[in-house]
Structure 1
Amino acid sequence: MAGQDTKWKKTVIGVCSGIGGVLLMGVASFIWFCLHKKKLARSYTPSSFLLRNNSSEPSTKELEKGENDMGLPLFSYEELEKATDRFNPAKELGDGGFGTVYYGKLSDGREVAVKRLFENNYRRVEHFMNEVEVLTRLRHPHLVTLYGCTSRICRELLLVYEFIPNGTVADHLHGNRAKPGELPWHTRLKIAIDTASALAFLHASETIHRDVKTTNILLDNNYNVKVADFGLSRLFPTQATHISTAPQGTPGYVDPEYHECYQLTNKSDVFSFGVVLVELISSKPAVDITRHRHEINLWTMAINKIRNDELHDFVDASLGFETDETVREMICAVAELAFRCLQSVKDTRPSMLEALEILKNIESRSSGKGKEEDRDISHEDDVLLKDGLVPESPDSVVVPWMSKSSTPNGSS
């Protein structure tokens, strides 16, 4: 009997030990899961992405220098809040797909533009990093200058740019600064050349802007161009033929081949630049839902007018197309270049460098400094381009894309 009791006790002890072990393992697993989840969540906060540093606090060296590890000056949230008068709506300069830009004045007297990224946009960290990486890596007279940003542990992601006082090209063509005759043809041609110069530089530096549009082309008081907004930019290695990615950009400017095939190339910027050219010629917005359904997108309207020899009906009447022979010749030459940039097949478009050279040649011919011969496209190219089928505007431009803002997509 005693032996049976001993055996029973051993059995009970064994069972209890087993249950206890299982419970202990369960508790340990639960604790490990909670800690791991917390650590994982921390690793994907903006703090870890912004400056590629695994530490959760800024280093003493960083605080002493007031710089991040890209050498970019850091600003405190409080400093920028004060500079913008607590982000006063009256100081708002504009907004886009990722944030709102405010006018500000720093304590040292510098005028700045402060971009405040939307908190509810899950891609704001990527946008922030794109801007920082492109503008700290590249310097060009026609790219906007980035003065600095907030720290990776700041309560908000803020970017600080030089303030460009004269608005955007869109403002002057068909926005709140548009006045007949205020933007003459020679100024518009200069804007086209400056923009082409900036884009050709980006492409030579293996970078695609991916959101070229007149609202991203800023003007100073002398109408010098500053290309801005690099939140959608992508690195494009010279040996690559394309990047497979879901289309992003702004309605009316998105390359139809990119939209259809999900293949991004530097020729996508060329297409968008073609839209900018026809805006400069016509003073019309890139998208206008009040136009005929086949002309909602300006680029389809432009191609139809050029093909039907109706350019005179398309050009802004204030430019002197009908009265000044030199202006008419230049506008026709730029329209021809725009026609090439807007081809639906990317391989028939010029490079940005070629577009820049053509524009400079047009400008120099008008001043009598260039060669006498025209740079017309060959007869074979003419037949190819004018016989090519131009696809209809994507329905997505008409229905869901009703704003001028860039459209962030779920894929980069």
Structure 2
Amino acid sequence: MYGCFCLIDWLVLYLFFYAASLCSIVRPHYVLPYKTSCNESCGNVDIPFPFGIKVGCYKSEWFRVTCNKTADGEKPFISSINMQLLNVSFYEGTVLVNNSAIYSYCPSKDRENNEGSVNLTGTPFFFSHIFDRFMSIGCGNLATFLDSPTNDHRIGGCKLPPCENNMTSIVRCAVNIPSGLSSFVTNIRRIYPNNGSKRSCISSFIVDTRFLDSLEANSDHNATTTNRSGTYVPTTLQWGIPKRGLCELGEESGTLCSPDGRYCWTSLSQMHLCVCTPDTYNNYDYLSTDVCQEIGKCVDMKYKNCFMHCLNADGNDCSSSCPDRYKNLGGMCWPLNVLDSSEVPTKKSKRSQNLPVIIGCSTSIGTIVVLIGTWHMHKLIERRNNIKLKQKYFKRNGGLLLQQQLSNNKGNVEKIKLFASKELEKATDYYNENRILGRGGQGTVFKGMLTDGSIVAIKKSKMIEDKKLDENELKQFINEVMILSQINHRNVVKLLGCCLETKVPLLVYEFVPNGTLSQLLHVPNEEFPLTWEMRLRIAIEIANALSYLHSAASVPIYHRDIKSSNILLDDKYRAKVSDFGTSRSVALEQTHVTTRVQGTFGYLDPEYFRSSQFTEKSDVYSFGVVLIELITGQKPVSSCQSEEVVRSLANFFLHSMKENSLLNIVDPLVINDNAEEEIVAVAKLAKRCLNMNGKRRPTMKQVALELERVRSSEEANGMQQSADEDSDTDAMIEASGVHSFSTSGSVLKDSVTSQ
């Protein structure tokens, strides 16, 4: 009892004197005199710190301002980036500048401006994602913006509707920009015909949305005008970030104040300022801290509400950085002397000062001790039960076998990691519904963040929770985990590890952020149209991945469930094959025979469906269906609303090829990409992949090579088909049935899922 009393006693003392130590760091100061030597302006624009015109008035050369004489009077320009300065907000760390806009397709050619890029990389400035938006004005065009001229990755864009007939059409479109954007390149491309309309100029730019009304009033997109008043638009750049920090102004010689006395600042480091305001001007009370918290202190202190300002610079992360002799705790910069002084309170002096607190707390000590003891005992029993349960699951899920495999393959030990269940629970916020990325036939996938900050996808398999696998099933499962963990291909989702301490095994994969190919194909996205060039590249990447699994991996692997919803897209929209829940590794020159047919309706190989014999050519058939999806933009199966009928896309495609009506089913989004020959060549390849005789289908290696030839256009027109190809089409259609069939009369084998 005495030990518990002392523990709580010292805890109360510690918290009390920690708060008292915060107040003790601030010493009384006198009211600071205002500094007026740098009260600068140019025209009708004030130039506050860190910007300045005269030497000694600006923070560094990046913030030097030149006052230029123009026809409209004197105008300030930021010398380092050659942009006109319109306004500076010291509190927000922003500067409003005039940014150039790009004009294209103007009937009056003198209006066009080809300078469609801005590069602020290496400077302290970047575009504010809070105030700025990428905007395009006009009609009938697609305006996009990229990171840089050398990078073809689109950040975003605007698709403007067609121009209306016999009138000038002006439509405004705006999209968000990513945070930290320091450079961009604008590209404007016409996607709709003129249709006889009086087409206006097409413009695109990054603009501060607070000035849209004035921009619309002053802009002129008339087709015949030569007015260039709309060449520049107001844009906000971020040069610093205000953040919470416990600081105070320094000596008078090192402190500067604004001319109006609204704030003063002192330099804490090369990139950090301490900014303080009086009570009457404390507009940023959510950031500032009253440095005179102790009663009776700092009576004469005027500037006592203080916060920090972090200036942008290469290598300086303002979100976590603090000045020297400060430490970041809970998103706030704390002086080290405060932390040190609060760590070891002296026993006698602190106890005597906090006697009232000790007396008040001692009345409830007995109750607290009993509650703590009971709670501690409950937690101890619960912890022991959890450990035993985890050991039971670990053994049941093959953990001992996996450890044995890892010890026998020491060269591959680093290729797979055994995760603790607690680590994955924290990573997924205890499997919160908001963390679900998707649900499929093999299980539910959650998004998680590991302790090292890396983002992963955690798959919770669909298994009978209380089912105990026999020895052969356990060996097969662990074998597959070992094999899949050794797959190393840029177009295959990497298996990082697994957790066997839960009811069902958890598999941890690398995180792929941009969803599935199925979503990109079948969910309309006007801001990001899927061009033929992208579709062909994605098809090549999938083919290369399957070719690797079939022939280049250490052991041949058949995927068994190739479909567009199992193709993930990374941040650059590169394809990655995923979901190996039904995959099988086989010895060379063998096929996999099973009594249970597994796969997805619409992608399933008819030969496999009849014989239950899965070969590498079964994956080729499923890939052929994915090729048809890329060509047509249609789903593998579709139902008619008027009748209970399901249409097979594969049969519909083969029928169209036989009738020479392929172009009638091609996705309208790519039919205008001047790629008709390439589309026909890929369609012929897809037709070969769908051959009812698996032996006559090409291998995935051959498919990948032929797709590469199509992309290079060297042999796209020279691809030869066998002499009896047309007769094969008739045989395939006859063997697979009519183009649609009644769902009420269909009979599916075990484990065939619909998409």
Q: Given the alignment, which residue of 498, 513, 516 partners 1:168?
A: 516
Shift of 1:297: 2.0
Shift of 1:238: 2.5
Contact 2:441 2:753 in 1 (8 A): no
Contact 1:340 1:385 in 2 (8 A): no
2:481 maps to which residue?
132
Contact 1:80 1:106 in 2 (8 A): yes
Structure (1 or 2) with the larger CA radius of gyration: 2
2:681 maps to which residue?
333
Q: Are 1:226 and 2:573 an aligned pair? A: no
Separation in structure 2 between the aligned mates of residue 94 and residue 337 of structure 1, nearest angstrom: 32
Q: Given the alignment, which residue of 409, 434, 439 partners 1:90?
A: 434
C-alpha distance 90-391 of structure 1, shift in aligned 2 (>3 A)? same
**Bigger shift: residues 285-294 or 75-84:** 285-294
Q: Are 1:188 and 2:535 an aligned pair? A: yes
Separation in structure 1 between the aligned mates of residue 400 and residue 437 of structure 2, nearest angstrom: 31
**2:587 counterpart SS class:** coil
Deviations 1:277-310 (A, max 9, x none): 0011111111223378776221111111111122
1:116 maps to which residue?
460
**2:676 counterpart SS class:** helix
**1:289 counterpart SS class:** strand
TM-score by length of 2: 0.42
Shift of 1:98: 2.2
C-alpha distance 293-317 of structure 1, shift in aligned 2 (>3 A)? farther
**Bigger shift: residues 153-162 or 102-111:** 153-162
Contact 1:68 1:74 in 2 (8 A): no
Contact 1:144 1:228 in 2 (8 A): yes
Contact 2:442 2:461 in 1 (8 A): yes
Deviations 1:320-353 (A, max 9, x none): x2x444x111111111111111111111211111
Q: Are 1:290 and 2:635 an aligned pair? A: no
Query: Which blocks of at least 5 consecutive residues in structure 1 are unaligned?
Result: 1-43, 405-412
Separation in structure 2 between the aligned mates of residue 155 and residue 269 of structure 1, nearest angstrom: 32
Which of the pair is proportionally richer in strand? 2
1:304 maps to which residue?
655
For 1:363, the aligned partner's letter is: R
Shift of 1:70: 8.3
Separation in structure 1 between the aligned mates of residue 419 and residue 450 of structure 2, nearest angstrom: 10
**1:172 counterpart SS class:** helix
2:736 maps to which residue?
391
Separation in structure 2 between the aligned mates of residue 308 and residue 293 of structure 1, nearest angstrom: 26
Shift of 1:179: 4.2
Contact 2:398 2:478 in 1 (8 A): yes
1:407 maps to which residue?
none
Q: Are 1:364 and 2:712 an aligned pair? A: yes
1:263 maps to which residue?
613
For 2:435, the aligned partner's letter is: K
**2:707 counterpart SS class:** helix
Deviations 1:76-124 (A, max 9, x none): 1111111111111111111111210011111110001110123437699
The number of residues matched between the two structures is: 345
**2:639 counterpart SS class:** coil
Q: Are 1:200 and 2:551 an aligned pair? A: no
C-alpha distance 349-92 of structure 1, shift in aligned 2 (>3 A)? same
Shift of 1:154: 3.7
Q: Given the alignment, which residue of 478, 485, 495 partners 1:146?
A: 495
C-alpha distance 387-155 of structure 1, shift in aligned 2 (>3 A)? closer
Separation in structure 2 between the aligned mates of residue 99 and residue 85 of structure 1, nearest angstrom: 18
C-alpha distance 130-334 of structure 1, shift in aligned 2 (>3 A)? farther
For 1:209, the aligned partner's letter is: H
Q: Are 1:158 and 2:506 an aligned pair? A: yes
Separation in structure 2 between the aligned mates of residue 334 and residue 358 of structure 1, nearest angstrom: 9
C-alpha distance 180-153 of structure 1, shift in aligned 2 (>3 A)? closer
**Bigger shift: residues 302-311 or 119-128:** 119-128
For 1:184, the aligned partner's letter is: T
Separation in structure 2 between the aligned mates of residue 273 and residue 123 of structure 1, nearest angstrom: 35
2:419 maps to which residue?
75
2:724 maps to which residue?
380
Contact 2:566 2:579 in 1 (8 A): yes
Contact 1:236 1:243 in 2 (8 A): no
Shift of 1:383: 3.4
Deviations 1:47-76 (A, max 9, x none): 25534639xxx79x99xx9x9978521111
Q: Are 1:318 and 2:649 an aligned pair? A: no
**1:112 counterpart SS class:** strand
Separation in structure 1 between the aligned mates of residue 592 and residue 533 of structure 2, nearest angstrom: 35
**Bigger shift: residues 102-111 or 70-79:** 70-79
TM-score by length of 1: 0.75
Separation in structure 2 between the aligned mates of residue 191 and residue 217 of structure 1, nearest angstrom: 9
**2:638 counterpart SS class:** coil
C-alpha distance 173-372 of structure 1, shift in aligned 2 (>3 A)? closer
Shift of 1:225: 1.2
Shift of 1:185: 0.5
C-alpha distance 401-207 of structure 1, shift in aligned 2 (>3 A)? closer
Q: Are 1:236 and 2:586 an aligned pair? A: yes
Deviations 1:167-217 (A, max 9, x none): 010010114x64486111110101100000010111103111101111111
Separation in structure 2 between the aligned mates of residue 179 and residue 218 of structure 1, nearest angstrom: 20
C-alpha distance 372-311 of structure 1, shift in aligned 2 (>3 A)? closer
C-alpha distance 272-313 of structure 1, shift in aligned 2 (>3 A)? same
Separation in structure 2 between the aligned mates of residue 372 and residue 289 of structure 1, nearest angstrom: 35
Q: Given the alignment, which residue of 580, 597, 600 partners 1:247?
A: 597
Contact 2:394 2:400 in 1 (8 A): no
Deviations 1:227-247 (A, max 9, x none): 111111112322225535431
2:11 maps to which residue?
none
2:443 maps to which residue?
99
**2:561 counterpart SS class:** coil
Which of the pair is proportionally richer in helix? 1
C-alpha distance 207-340 of structure 1, shift in aligned 2 (>3 A)? same
Separation in structure 1 between the aligned mates of residue 686 and residue 611 of structure 2, nearest angstrom: 22
Contact 1:50 1:129 in 2 (8 A): yes
Separation in structure 2 between the aligned mates of residue 99 and residue 114 of structure 1, nearest angstrom: 10
Aligned residues: CA RMSD: 3.3
Shift of 1:46: 6.8
For 1:314, the aligned partner's letter is: I
1:3 maps to which residue?
none
Contact 1:180 1:318 in 2 (8 A): no
2:60 maps to which residue?
none
C-alpha distance 280-123 of structure 1, shift in aligned 2 (>3 A)? farther
Contact 2:710 2:716 in 1 (8 A): no
Separation in structure 2 between the aligned mates of residue 116 and residue 200 of structure 1, nearest angstrom: 28
Task: Tell me the percent identity.
Answer: 37
Query: Which blocks of at least 5 consecutive residues in structure 2 are unaligned?
Result: 1-391
Separation in structure 2 between the aligned mates of residue 113 and residue 380 of structure 1, nearest angstrom: 47
Deviations 1:1-31 (A, max 9, x none): xxxxxxxxxxxxxxxxxxxxxxxxxxxxxxx
C-alpha distance 95-362 of structure 1, shift in aligned 2 (>3 A)? same
